[in-house]
């Protein structure tokens, strides 16, 4: 079955060093940022090591024929490998990985933090989701407190209620972004 990612796979399978270098360069910063955001107790060196191992596994899977076609991007597949590696690494350290349900919400916030440089545009967007959601999202993005701390400060009865409300607010924000067909270019200067 041929997919739109077949050309990338073919280049990698043929041993094209530029293809592997491109995947490496296009994903390293996003990947290490993602790891450090979700696993703040890991060092940058740990994150880079995990990324390098994920790239090696990706390449080996392609070269050995284990990976023959993709239904998603190579980056998505690479992040999947990385997710498994970092969770195993965290387990070895005796640390609890962030639950997957929270990761999905954090990834949206990560994207905002990593790419949005035009504060006025994003604040205008946040005004559309209401004061409570705006306060919740702005404070959670600009601070490294735990959910329990936010719940207390913002007046939620539990961390679970805080996370639920945060998810609802992120969903509202995502809905507005999708409704307006906004892309990341809209937010960049």
Summarize pLDDT for 50-103 with one digit per residue, the tens: 999 999 999 898 888 888 877 778 888 888 899 889 888 888 888 765 554 455
Measured torsion, CA atoms of residues 71, 77, 80, 34, in degrees rounded to the nearest 10: -120
pLDDT of residue 55: 92
Count the neighbouring beta carbons within 10 Å of the beta carbon of residue 1.
7
pLDDT of residue 174: 83
Average pLDDT of every residue of the chain: 77
What mean pLDDT comes out for the span 31-51? 86
Per the CB < 8 A criterion, the answer to whether 99 and 147 are in contact is: no
* CA dist., res. 49 & res. 100, Å (int): 22
**CATH number for the domain formed by residue range(s) 6-92:** 1.10.1740.10
Give 20 or 110, the one with higher predicted confidence: 20
Residue 68, Cβ density class (10 Å: 0-12 exposed, 13-18 middle, ≥19 buried): exposed
Residue in this structure with the two tokens 């190579």, named with its chain if needed = 74
- pTM of the entire predicted model: 0.51
Per the CB < 8 A criterion, the answer to whether 78 and 23 are in contact is: yes
pLDDT of residue 48: 92
Q: How confident is the model at residue 176 (pLDDT cuts 50, 70, 90)?
A: confident
């Amino acid at each position: 079955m041929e997919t739109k990612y077949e050309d990338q796979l073919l280049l990698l399978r043929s041993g094209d060093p530029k293809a592997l270098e491109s995947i490496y360069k296009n994903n390293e910063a996003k990947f290490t940022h993602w790891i450090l955001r979700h696993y703040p107790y890991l060092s940058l060196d740990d994150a880079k090591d995990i990324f390098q191992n994920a790239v090696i596994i990706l390449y080996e899977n392609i070269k050995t024929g284990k990976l023959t076609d993709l239904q998603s991007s190579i980056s998505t597949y690479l992040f999947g490998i990385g997710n498994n590696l970092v969770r195993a690494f965290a387990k070895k350290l005796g640390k609890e990985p962030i639950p997957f349900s929270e990761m999905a919400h954090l990834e949206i916030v990560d994207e905002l933090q990593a790419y949005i440089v035009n504060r006025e545009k994003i604040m205008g967007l946040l005004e559309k989701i209401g004061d409570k959601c705006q306060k919740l999202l702005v404070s959670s993005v600009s601070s490294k407190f735990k959910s329990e701390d936010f719940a207390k400060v913002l007046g939620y009865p539990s961390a679970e209620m805080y996370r639920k409300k945060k998810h609802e607010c992120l969903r509202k924000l995502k809905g507005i972004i999708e409704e307006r067909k906004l892309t990341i270019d809209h937010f960049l200067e």
